[in-house]
Structure 1
């Protein structure tokens, strides 16, 4: 029974480190994109304007994909980390590389993601979302190597 308490304590400690890492990642994502995801999402819910509604969907897909990609990286970091500092390092690395992937995507595409999402191009938001998830899966595998 005593060992169960140690597992619970370990769970709580890692959760206490992981949730702020996730919040940090979301903050970095929102800070590094020139459009304001939360504002676009909020404005899309408070209007009947089809463009604002589409922009909200595009931003939600984009931000949601980044969050899932980062969660995948953090899950791998939790599983493979040897201690809490290892988890923190890989969490920060994962966040930085998710931002780099976004801007590489911006650089390599024939359109500008940063202008298409606020215009309501949902397809670009979905594509950016899937790219973030794919990058998260790849980074998670790299952590385990």
Structure 2
């Protein structure tokens, strides 16, 4: 089950399309869907979570809490729409593609991918690109 929650004025268009894509990504990693909760929010909302739960006094685009057990992918994914908009401008990509990258980034963490080292980050970027392409196949 995938739930989309909104703590800002942003609303994801065509939730079912995103739900199908996320499920396809999970299956492509030989995992099963448990329960995922996406929370779309603003910088202030995510900053408070970052300080309270992670002790990081910084802005970020995504925070994910992983509740995965074995091959069943579950978790809470918080996405700052403000950060996604800024990132899209900084990386010269569309907002839609940057949103997909951030949304799937959390899922890839749940699948076991890391991004702490430069090698891990490189693998994560490749996986993000690979999974974004699965979205385009959906359409």
TM-score w.r.t. the length of structure 2 is 0.30
Kindly name which structure, 1 or 2, has the bigger radius of gyration based on alpha carbons: 1
Query: When you count strand as a share of all residues, which structure comes out higher?
Result: 2
TM-score w.r.t. the length of structure 1 is 0.29
